Structure 1
Amino acid sequence: MKKLCVIPGDGIGPEVVPVAVEAIKLLVPDLEVVHAQAGWACFQQTGCAVPERTLDLMRECGAGLFGAVQSPAHQVAGYRSAILTLRQQLGLSVNLRPVRSWPFISPKSGIDLMVLRENSEGLYVGREHMASPDKAIAERHISRQASELLAQRTAQVAQLRQARRITLVHKANVLPLTCGLFRDSCRAVLEAQGLGSVLDERLVDVAALQLIEQPESFDLVVTTNLFGDVLSDLASYWSGGLATAPSLNWGQGIALAEPVHGSAPDIAGSGRANPIAALLSAALLLRYHWELDDQASRLEGAVDDFLKESKGVDLGAQTTLRVSAGVLERIK
């Protein structure tokens, strides 16, 4: 029996997550679902963005689906981003962000790439301090262990996808110690896995340009936390934008699917929230964590068929309902 911890989060999270849960139930009939809290609203209610009970349930289930988090734009005493806390406390050290062409919503056909991002360190460790009233300093942490784990996951994904190209993205010409350690650690693992023949490198600024100029030339893009955050958001343009972008936070024996879009408080409750990103995130959980490739393909195929029939039109106040009904019916 598969167990799933459902964490709706903030804003449109409680609207899109139930759609993905229903899809998983259709594909995994013996699914057991438990619910948990995390996010800004949870912090306002309890004083904690991620309660220990939520962490315990995630560890017990080994798999989760997270909706969205709304974070304040300024520092709030005691608050730290719920998703960053979940990633770091649960050891979700690799982030998968696929980008592929979808019918009608993608501006270009023939694109099928994935950004694999180190998910636990870099600048996102949250080590900042004021050196003086006029100077703030942030630390960047890169470890051999985390870099090697990312490379090991990359080798797994490369085998599943039969990858034709793996591109290490860094800025070692300016950051020779941190980016140099990242590059060399990843390269050593990937070469030891027999992937040296499909391995190349790009500086992050060049990679950004080429993701715009020739996205179809990429297959797997492997990079650090901040670079991966920026590049995957940029690349999502080719698959319809952040509103339809999925991701999977992947650890050792535990994973958390997460649509990339934010909490979108401006449309929360309006019926306009698009659940496609949550659905495609569920497909990543099925394929990479539970190793249910056929079920993942059925879910992705249902999304593809729905987009073909709807022709990618704006469904307005019926978006959540129409997408949900259309995709779930095709799974059945």
Structure 2
Amino acid sequence: MMSYRNSMVAKSAAKRTFASIATTEKVLPKKYGGRFVVTLIPGDGVGKEITDSVVSIFEAENLPIDWDRVDISGVDRKEDVKAAVDSLKRNKIGLKGIWHTNAADQAGGGSLNVALRKELDIYANVALFKSIEGVKTRIPNVDLVVIRENTEGEYSGLEHESVPGVVESLKIMTKAKTERIARFAFDFAKKYNRKAVTAVHKANIMKLGDGLFRNTVTRIGEGEYPDVKVDSIIVDNASMQTVAKPHQFDVLVTPSMYGTILGNIGAALIGGPGLVAGANFGREYAVFEPGSRHVGLDIKGQNIANPTAMILSAALMLNHLGLETSSARISKAVHEVIAEGKSTTKDIGGSSSTTDFTKAVIEKLSSYK
């Protein structure tokens, strides 16, 4: 069986490239009779609509993907998470929408997304914030990567009410997991010719926890990756600088909460959450999902969601599976449809539906030789 560690960058012929992602860990998906079995988790909100878009495109392209689908029932969501975990343990690779954490989930133990990542130790989240031709933004040519640690920090999920009216939330930072995410970030930078890695922290206040994160990233960078520039920045300033001058950053590596904050800023810079591709990696599993964690409950069922982020995340998945040609074709078609502006969704200035955008991508693909 081939190795997927060194899958190539999927290149778009539409005047820009879209970097693919491959973890330094070995993730081997199941493959039977020349076909891959992939876990499909539509998630909440607009998840079904945008994953249906991917399924339609894959069917039109006749790709060798068989879906192992896990839906949220709304009856026992913890059992749904267990079903998703079991499916991913079988298949190793997944495509996922975002789960909404409601009051019942909180009462039952917290975020379903965090639970999934912790259960499978999917420790690295990668979100790509890259300007897309045809989308009008205030700052052009943004090309920024945010890599966040997925399993500890503020999202450790450890909190309790010690006495009535007093809640304690534990933020866990460990040397081992910080070294792991630091090496992932520097390996990513080297693999995709990125020049600098910046550690985002709040060590001026949380001197031990965030101090450990900042100092560990700096030590790993200076000691093991001398050809990649390493620096650090306080999260407050990072937020301001990202809004004002995003081009000064290349790869940002963060604890969990700071990555979420900077991810929302990055989404705003390039035109919204419907454009951000992303992925999550662990030693054994890879789960691809939109890089901006917006569920879209307010537009659920209206057929107006932008499926770009999910489609491009799926293209990253194809590249990870070694299907580079299909990945490049789909990325190219999406970028060309957006650049033409005839079938874009409302969030980026158009008036087309999710279905219309999907059809336009399929038609574009059919025009290629």
Question: What TM-score do the two structures reach when normalised by structure 1?
Answer: 0.89
Partner of residue 144, structure 1: 175
Which consecutive residues of structure 2, in runs of 5 or more, have no partner in the other structure? 1-30
SS of 2:168's partner is strand
> Structure 1 residues 61 and 47 mapped into 2: Cα distance closer, same or farther (>3 Å)?
closer
Among residues 131, 135, 144, which one is paired with 2:166 in the alignment?
Answer: 135
1:86 equivalent to 2:86? Answer no
Query: More deviation in 19-28 or 63-72?
Result: 19-28
Partner of residue 232, structure 2: 201
Partner of residue 296, structure 1: 327
Percent of aligned pairs with the same amino acid: 28
Aligned residues: 326
Partner of residue 113, structure 1: 144
Q: How far is the alpha carbon of 1:170 from its aligned partner?
A: 0.9
Distance 1:117 1:168 in 2: 10
Distance 1:110 1:141 in 2: 36
Aligned residue identity for 1:164: K
Aligned residue identity for 1:225: S
Distance 1:327 1:136 in 2: 49
> Structure 1 residues 35 and 67 mapped into 2: Cα distance closer, same or farther (>3 Å)?
same
Partner of residue 253, structure 1: 284
Among residues 3, 9, 12, which one is paired with 2:46 in the alignment?
Answer: 12
Contact kept? 2:131, 2:140, Cα under 8 Å:
yes
Partner of residue 68, structure 1: 98
Aligned residue identity for 1:230: I
Among residues 211, 232, 256, which one is paired with 1:180 in the alignment?
Answer: 211
SS of 1:125's partner is strand
Among residues 15, 32, 45, which one is paired with 2:66 in the alignment?
Answer: 32
> Structure 1 residues 257 and 313 mapped into 2: Cα distance closer, same or farther (>3 Å)?
closer
Q: How far is the alpha carbon of 1:94 from its aligned partner?
A: 0.5
Question: What TM-score do the two structures reach when normalised by structure 2?
Answer: 0.81
Contact kept? 1:100, 1:111, Cα under 8 Å:
yes
1:54 equivalent to 2:84? Answer yes
1:274 equivalent to 2:309? Answer no
Distance 2:202 2:293 in 1: 27
Contact kept? 1:69, 1:262, Cα under 8 Å:
no
Which consecutive residues of structure 1, in runs of 5 or more, have no partner in the other structure? none
SS of 2:64's partner is coil
> Structure 1 residues 18 and 307 mapped into 2: Cα distance closer, same or farther (>3 Å)?
same
Aligned residue identity for 1:268: K
Aligned residue identity for 2:178: S
Distance 2:136 2:255 in 1: 26
**1:217-264 C-alpha deviation (Å, 9 max, x unpaired):** 211011110011111111111111123222211111311112235332
1:331 equivalent to 2:365? Answer yes
Aligned residue identity for 1:12: V
> Structure 1 residues 85 and 28 mapped into 2: Cα distance closer, same or farther (>3 Å)?
farther
> Structure 1 residues 20 and 104 mapped into 2: Cα distance closer, same or farther (>3 Å)?
same
SS of 2:107's partner is coil
Distance 1:283 1:29 in 2: 12
**1:168-227 C-alpha deviation (Å, 9 max, x unpaired):** 111112112111211222223333432465111111111111101111121101111001
Partner of residue 264, structure 1: 296
Distance 1:75 1:7 in 2: 17
SS of 1:123's partner is strand
Q: How far is the alpha carbon of 1:118 from its aligned partner?
A: 0.5
Distance 2:58 2:251 in 1: 26
Query: More deviation in 202-211 or 106-115?
Result: 106-115
> Structure 1 residues 254 and 228 mapped into 2: Cα distance closer, same or farther (>3 Å)?
same
Query: More deviation in 53-62 or 262-271?
Result: 262-271
Computed over aligned residues only, the root mean square deviation of the Cα atoms, in angstroms, reads: 2.3
Among residues 285, 309, 315, which one is paired with 1:283 in the alignment?
Answer: 315
> Structure 1 residues 227 and 156 mapped into 2: Cα distance closer, same or farther (>3 Å)?
same
SS of 1:139's partner is strand
SS of 1:262's partner is coil
SS of 2:294's partner is coil
Distance 2:247 2:212 in 1: 28
Contact kept? 2:345, 2:357, Cα under 8 Å:
no
> Structure 1 residues 32 and 297 mapped into 2: Cα distance closer, same or farther (>3 Å)?
same
1:217 equivalent to 2:248? Answer yes
Distance 2:228 2:275 in 1: 33
Distance 1:69 1:75 in 2: 10
Aligned residue identity for 1:88: K
Contact kept? 1:101, 1:110, Cα under 8 Å:
yes
SS of 1:9's partner is coil
**1:77-124 C-alpha deviation (Å, 9 max, x unpaired):** 325322111111111101001101112324132111100000110011
